[in-house]
Structure 1
Amino acid sequence: MGNSLDIAIAGAGPAGRAAALYLTRAEHRVTIFERFDQPKPVGSGLILQPTGLTVLADLGLLDDILALGSRIDRLHGADARTGRTVLDVRYDAQRGGRFGLAVHRAALFGVLFRAARRQAITIETGIELKTLETGERATLICGNGRRIGSFDLVVDASGSRSKLRRCVTNPGEPRSLAYGAFWASLGWRGEGFDEHALLQRYDKASVMIGVLPIGRPEPGAGKMAAFFWSLKPADAECVWAAGLDAWKARLAGLWPACAAFTDQIDSFDQLSLARYGHHTMKTPAGRRLAVIGDAAHSTSPQLGQGANMALLDAAALNYALIGTDRIDTALGAYVGARRWHVRVFQALSLVLTPFYQSDSIVMPFVRDRLVATLAKVPPAPQFLASMVTGTVLNPFKPIGLAEALWPDRFGG
């Protein structure tokens, strides 16, 4: 786009900051509006897949995040009672030297925050956005009635609880999923655990315990792990009432080695209760409005694609704007570039989640016996790797990116 635009971005999370970096680099005038008084990361850990890492490489931030994260080569899950392997996904099942990078959310936040500060991107905090008015330009309207603007374009990166997305035709609302999880960020204890793998234990589909090495939250800090245990948010009160020792004893009975992590938990206050919902916008754009990240598509973390999809959205919007001088044409190109990749992974997540988080007896039975066996037979290992890496469909070409070249050695 030849003209420099005035662009408002709602939300200072990974999607919003990545979009701000891209659009500032394209010489647009960008302001981020954040509802919290102090922007901060939310959650414990995540895996940056080759998709998200490619976007960070495009932004010149790959070395920064590699220095903090933990390389992941494998996802392994076993039945807690029998020890039978029921999930074994290896990145090297595909050619190309791909890997995942597990990071503390604070690490990703910090890398993007420091990059935004270097670019002197304006951020206004304590701004609760309710809606917007559009015409020749767009005006933001706060919950207290304050009007902000006008802007050529508004980018909604305000997450799954977005209010701005209601300005799009048929936005829909997230459907709450039955299962959420307790999460904690703890010190890494390596004995008996693979520092390059996400390890999980299952009791049917109603309990999933996981340990993910997530590297360092910031330069110079100690190595950490994300520890999680799935449960229905509605059952959390019962867990709290039974007490911490009872909860630890239950986990130790299913996975004795995880005591290395639960022993670090002295209070339920160290645990965050995450709730999940599923939602896919048919058209994540409206008049002078683009919707990206969890505001456009949210789901369970089972496939671990949330932050990666958000980063791809930010890149797609940037390159769509570069490709034309008309905002409405650019928004149409953005929607088209992301449509099938988003829909395929949203569908895969919806189908697969009940095999790992549900009350079903049949699904985990099928998972443990049929699926685990078939997953060893080609081309299943390659397909599973492509699901995890986010490359079942090529997400790069439609948005104008080339996948980063993965070196044989790992930096960091």
Structure 2
Amino acid sequence: MVEPVTSYRTRVLDAELDALLPGLPAIAIEGPRGVGKTATALQRSAQVLRLDEPAQAQLLAADPRRLGEGPYPILIDEWQRLPVAWDLVRRAVDDDPTGGRFLLTGSAAPRTAPTHSGAGRIVTLRMRPLTLAERGVCTPTVSLAQLLESGVVPDLVAGRCGLELRDYTAEIVSGGFPGLRGGSDRAVRAALDGYLQRIVEVDLPEAGTALRRPETLRRWFAAYAAATSTTASYEAIRGAATAGEGDKPAKTTTGPYRDALERLFVLEPLNAWAPTFNHLSRLSSSPKHHLADPALAARLLGVDAGALLRGEGNQIVARDGALLGSLFESLATLVVRVCAQAAEARVLHFRSWRGEHEVDLIVERGDHRVLGLEVKLGGHVDDSDVRHLVWLRDQLGDDFLGGAVLTPGTHAYCRPDGIAVVPLGLLGP
């Protein structure tokens, strides 16, 4: 058995893997570099093939029979470095579909797709940066899975959180990459800058994206960061990346940037909710823009915790409110996505065609019943803050499981109208 990583930080994904691995022959863990995919997979691996080491990649390519020899589970780390590894695993699963045989980890989708999707043989799970609960900054008392199962009821909404706005701001700029936790503010900023530099100088070229002018990508990247939690058009983002009049990057340049950054899991747009089971119509289909971690957006925009608390931050792309509010919503989106995946639900956003009604996060169960979640930077919640949730409840009837406002406040409770108020630090799987 491979020696487990010391001082391992338990992840929400651990419970998913423990539930799925015994019954599935192969699971692929995908996500951005540095979120802990390998460390998590090592906790349950008997041997490791590290395909970012050329010698091991060559050995596997030369002798695929190694996959049939065990011991199991076999971890194939950075499988995208040898895309044929996916097909080798698929064939090994065809020969022996016994559960618990393979784990694959990857921080990029390969340029050359495998010849087979792996459907029915390889199940894919997304791993994201640390949630607040995984960081250990607050103990969650409100379970998203329970809200999805039973609806928003007072018995499920309780607890007190000691985090204040300045604490959430510190978490936004420090990020959820496990290897960066515990360092000084300056060390974290330097590490995040290095992370972004590697994406531009190493990861994108390795993924096949030619960068004749890296500064153009950096400007576009910063403009995308400024659009965090908005539905700004890609044309608006492209225009905001202009260094000077007449210097707008071409669509043929920025389109491949976006595609490549999504393949690296650095961009994770939040798609719009498009229900087909009720009379709601004329809905916006534009995605909300998010990076894998709001700390990356903060570094791209050159703001620290103090600047965010003072309301600073260039308005490169039009948005409502301060940059801190947009980044707090992005942190909430990260937390909700991790918890929703564990509950077999998906996360989207809702906006009517003209913007009369919008809900920041829609968490949809497999049967299409939904929770509505609003994100508010202020701790006090009044009727105006829940009006869209109340409207959506009236539209959906029994398909609406309940609504909640996620805040940086201190107490979780249900309002008299049935809408919950939940400090973000108290929300867990």
Q: Which structure: greater helix fraction?
A: 2
Q: Which has the higher contact order (CA 8 A, sep 6+)?
A: 1
TM over 0.5: no
Could you tell me the TM-score, scaled by structure 2's length?
0.28
